[in-house]
Structure 1
Amino acid sequence: VKEKMNKVLYIILISLISFTVISCGEKDESTSTTTSTLDPPTTATATGGYYQVELDWSDVSGATGYTIYWSTSTGVSSSSTAITGITDSNYTHTGLDDGTTYYYKGATVNSAGTGSLSSEVNAIPRDATTVTEGCTGKETASGTVQGVTRTGPSGT
């Protein structure tokens, strides 16, 4: 009886050792690499132009794109109007109203999603460059002016 008991214990011991070795050798497939969103772009600038605003910011390593949020009032948030699909570190927002202040914040985009927003910048689009009117000519000894040419928006 003692011999049979030893054989049973031996078999149980071998089974436990085998189970432990097999369990330790299994690969944990649940481990995965995680990606997190990136920091927002920095050193952003906004420059008003002819019915447009030119936006520039520093490149962010790892970004696959950028989203710009904008509004005509301060306090831009991720609920503001978004411009998506931007792949460069600059963008020209066109078709804007002359004299209206536009406010902007940018965010980086990668496989984890859209990151936090940058500091707010603003600019005012302007109409065509202002041309100063003037006249040119030559004053004679008698005080009259000859060869007057008018320059400016109204033509010559």
Structure 2
Amino acid sequence: MKSLTRFALHLLSVIVFAAILGGCGDTKPNTPSGLTAVAGDGKVTVSWNSISATTYKLYWSSTSGGTKTSPTIIDPATSPQVVTGLTNGTTYYFAVIAKNSEGESALSSEVSATPTAAAVPAAPTGVGALAGTGKATVSWNAVSGATSYYVYYSSTLANATKANGVRFSPATASPQDVTGLTPGVWYFVVTAVNASGESVESSPAVSVTVL
């Protein structure tokens, strides 16, 4: 009888110990923190602190509090997460949930950002030209925010403008060879271009005598 009692007590202790161990398993992840939202042209980049989680869900909305009521969800999301296709001038709100095998965290606090169209770039500076046979090599300083450039040219100074000059094929960087020129004096200006538009011409026009 005593042996049976000892066995029962031992079995009970094993069950209790197993229950305690079971309670020490994985839990739902903590709520993500450190959210930031950086606006761009038609987009927002959302970042957050990494925590012990297997993946994340990004909730976003154009309404404050909308991340809780009627969000658009990106699942899975990775920090930094770029949200594209947004309307410039509209404020957007973002929040994040962390996930693991035990479930989801609470929704983080919201952050917001307002996408803004990129400004039209400034006119290029440092424009120069070197003459060659039937061509001129035009160079300029890179312009912040520009994605391409146009070189305009004319055989007369007055017509070396965007309105009246001949526009050479777009260039992505300096220098640019302008070919097909006849011998004589040619004048050149350069503009910078991005998604928002084209700058004014560089000034003054530069000239070379093509061979």
What does the per-residue CA deviation read over 1:43-73, in whole Å, with 9 as the maximum and x for residues that have no partner? 211011122110011111x211111111101
Distance 1:108 1:101 in 2: 24
Residue 28 (str. 1) matches residue 15 (str. 2): yes
**Runs of at least 5 residues in structure 1 that lack an aligned partner in the other structure:** 1-14, 137-144
**Secondary structure of the structure 2 residue equivalent to 1:70:** strand
CA contact (8 A) 1:40 1:117 kept: yes
Question: Which of the pair has more CA radius of gyration?
Answer: 1
**Which residue of 2 is the match for residue 45 of structure 1?**
36
Aligned positions of 1:91-106 closer than 5 A: 91-106=81-96
**Which residue of 2 is the match for residue 68 of structure 1?**
58
> Bigger relative contact order, structure 1 or 2, given CA contacts below 8 A and separation 6+?
1
Counterpart residue identity of residue 20, structure 1: T
Counterpart residue identity of residue 57, structure 1: W
**Runs of at least 5 residues in structure 2 that lack an aligned partner in the other structure:** 126-156, 162-188, 202-211
**Which residue of 2 is the match for residue 18 of structure 1?**
3
Report the Cα offset of residue 135 of structure 1.
9.7
Aligned positions of 1:128-139 closer than 5 A: 129-131=118-120
**Secondary structure of the structure 1 residue equivalent to 2:90:** coil
**Which residue of 2 is the match for residue 58 of structure 1?**
49
Report the Cα offset of residue 18 of structure 1.
2.1
**Secondary structure of the structure 1 residue equivalent to 2:15:** coil
Distance 1:45 1:92 in 2: 12
Residue 90 (str. 1) matches residue 77 (str. 2): no
Residue 81 (str. 1) matches residue 72 (str. 2): yes
CA contact (8 A) 1:72 1:100 kept: yes
CA contact (8 A) 1:133 1:150 kept: no
CA contact (8 A) 2:67 2:93 kept: no
**Secondary structure of the structure 1 residue equivalent to 2:59:** strand
Identity fraction in percent: 30
Structure 1 residues 109 and 135: alpha-carbon distance in aligned structure 2, compared to 1, 3 A threshold? closer
Structure 1 residues 135 and 20: alpha-carbon distance in aligned structure 2, compared to 1, 3 A threshold? closer
Report the Cα offset of residue 77 of structure 1.
3.9
Report the Cα offset of residue 20 of structure 1.
0.7
Identify the range of structure 1 (69-78 vs 25-34) with the bigger mean alpha-carbon deviation.
Answer: 25-34
Counterpart residue identity of residue 5, structure 2: T
CA contact (8 A) 1:73 1:103 kept: yes
Counterpart residue identity of residue 15, structure 2: D
